[in-house]
Amino acid sequence: MRKSILLMLSLTVLFSVKVFSQTPDTTSLWTKGMKASFAFNQVSLTNWAAGGENSIGGNSFVNLFVNLKKGKSTWDNSLDLAYGLVKLGDANVRKSDDKIDFSSKYGHSVIHKNLFLSAGLSFRTQFTEGYNYPNDSVMISNFMAPGYLLLGLGMDYKPFPYLSISFLPIAGRLTFVNDQTLSDAGAYGVDPGKHVRPEFGAVFKTVFEKDLAENVNLKSKLEMFSNYLDKPQNIDINWEALLMLKVTKYISTFIGVQTIYDDDIKIVDKEGKKAPRTQFKQTFGVGLTYSVKNVSATVKK
């Protein structure tokens, strides 16, 4: 786990230095930027009559984007990283957040200036092991277990600079489970003992990011996948949103939510019944935040 945390911090520093080192170029066709935040929380109790438990934790995230617009072509790239830890009382340190999410999309306008023939690629996984807390002896996830790689072809509609709507009717998705224990258990839809599950289907994806008001930014991403070859009516859904409210130049409040439904992921409830279930995650924090954006000029080359 320590190696993975150091890896994330190294990536954060690397990309931060890369972006911050840019000097504005009024002839560049690239738009680059980043948002980074770290929130820390701590509770310490001594002889506290009302009861309670000591706790310490922190959450961090980095959002990076590099986009190109040249003539009728566009190329959009984004990388989202998140990691969080929490320690309650005498319990061991637990993971509270963990995400690696990369997407890349190329489009070429042929019919209308806002309608593009598009090819999209996305990759998702996490940094470290996840456990079925409070039982920290049962691992339920790991790096590349699962991991998702998706490649699709279709159309992308951009009616506004802050909104992208994609439909990719030709798409392939690979689900990786590289941990042998999870693979043997047939976790995340792979056949027991296998490490990869291929699927062929269609993808619908929307990305919205806009300043709703001064110092208030909302980013929302919805991705839906239907497997043509196996129960196409059971659509996998991954929706996440992040609302940031800037208090000062370096202090912000953020609220994040994520909802996942995947028919191939079986979750055991308190009664021991195993079935697909809606997954929900909510994060909230107040902490140090920094953002930068290097906007290109509308110069055509």
* Fold held by 2-44+55-294: Outer membrane phospholipase (ompla); Chain C (2.40.230)
pLDDT, mean of residues 16-20 = 41
Can you tell me the distance from the alpha carbon of 105 to that of 74, in angstroms, rounded to the nearest whole number? 8
Can you tell me the distance from the alpha carbon of 54 to that of 199, in angstroms, rounded to the nearest whole number? 46
In three-state secondary structure terms, 11 is: helix
| pLDDT > 90? residue 297 | no
Distant-in-sequence, close-in-space partners of 226: CB < 8 Å, separation ≥ 6:
201, 202, 232, 233, 234, 235, 236
pLDDT at 21: 40
Domains of the chain, by residue range, sit at 2-44+55-294
Other CB atoms within a 10 A radius of the CB of residue 24 amount to 9
- Asked whether the whole model's pTM tops 0.75, one would answer yes
The chain-wide mean pLDDT, for the chain, equals 86
H or E segment and range at residue 18: helix 2-20
Identify the residue whose tokens are 């980074």: 36
Can you tell me the distance from the alpha carbon of 257 to that of 253, in angstroms, rounded to the nearest whole number? 14
Categorize the per-residue pLDDT at 50 as very low, low, confident or very high, splitting at 50, 70 and 90.
confident
Categorize the per-residue pLDDT at 18 as very low, low, confident or very high, splitting at 50, 70 and 90.
very low
Identify the residue whose tokens are 């438990």: 53
Query: First-to-last CA distance in the chain?
Result: 47
The amino acid occupying position 279 is: Q
Backbone angles phi, psi at 6, to 5 degrees: -60, -35
Categorize the per-residue pLDDT at 15 as very low, low, confident or very high, splitting at 50, 70 and 90.
very low
More confident residue, 46 or 72: 72
Percentage of residues of the chain with pLDDT beyond 90: 60
Can you tell me the distance from the alpha carbon of 214 to that of 245, in angstroms, rounded to the nearest whole number? 9
CA-closest candidate to residue 144, choices 170, 183, 171: 183
pLDDT, mean of residues 205-214 = 94
pLDDT at 184: 95
> What is the distance, to the nearest Å, from the Cα of residue 285 to the centroid of all Cα atoms in its chain?
17
CA-closest candidate to residue 63, choices 105, 31, 16: 16
The amino acid occupying position 169 is: P
Identify the residue whose tokens are 């208090």: 247
Provide the greatest CA pair distance for the chain.
Answer: 71
Beta carbons of 56 and 86 less than 8 angstroms apart: yes
Backbone angles phi, psi at 181, to 5 degrees: -65, -45
Categorize the per-residue pLDDT at 9 as very low, low, confident or very high, splitting at 50, 70 and 90.
very low
pLDDT, mean of residues 218-231 = 96
Beta carbons of 83 and 127 less than 8 angstroms apart: yes
| pLDDT > 60? residue 25 | no
Beta carbons of 176 and 194 less than 8 angstroms apart: no
What radius of gyration do the chain's Cα atoms show? Answer: 21
Can you tell me the distance from the alpha carbon of 85 to that of 60, in angstroms, rounded to the nearest whole number? 9
